[in-house]
Amino acid sequence: MSPLLVKAKSGSTIVEVTPASAGWTHVGFAAHRLQAGEHISLETGSRELCLVVLTGTVTVQAGDHVWEGIGKRASVFEDVSPYAVYVPLET
């Protein structure tokens, strides 16, 4: 198997790796850059999601549940672990 090399893009979607594009069976990955007040909508479909907030603070809505103020890092280089939210499939 050859190594996977994916370069970052400019814009709001920095990188997106799907199981099909990587030759994997289960795991995919995407990184999104959002400005203050911007939002993104994702459908889980038949996959679970783990949203990891690398910097800043976000509000996450999954179905009827809303979590506000998730995250607190100003930089990925801070000595603080990132916050994460698990979203089940079909959400």
37-55 per-position pLDDT tens digit: 999 998 888 888 999 999 9
Instruction: Quote the number of domains for the chain.
Output: 2
Residue 57, helix vs strand vs coil: coil
Domain of 81 in residue numbering reads as: 38-91
Token pair for residue 33?
Answer: 């850059």
Q: Is the pLDDT of residue 1 over 50?
A: no
Q: Which helix (H) or strand (E) holds 61?
A: strand 58-62
**Contact status, residue 50 vs residue 44, Cβ threshold 8 Å:** no
By CB neighbour count within 10 A (0-12 exposed, 13-18 middle, 19+ buried), where does 60 fall?
middle
pTM of the model: 0.80
Residues 5 and 7: their CA atoms lie apart, in Å, by 7
Instruction: Return the pLDDT at 3.
Output: 64
Q: Are residues 4 and 42 in the same domain?
A: no
Same domain, 42 and 29: no
At residue 23, the pLDDT reads: 85
- Looking at the fold, whether 46 and 29 belong to one and the same domain comes out as no
Same domain membership, residue 28 and residue 44: no
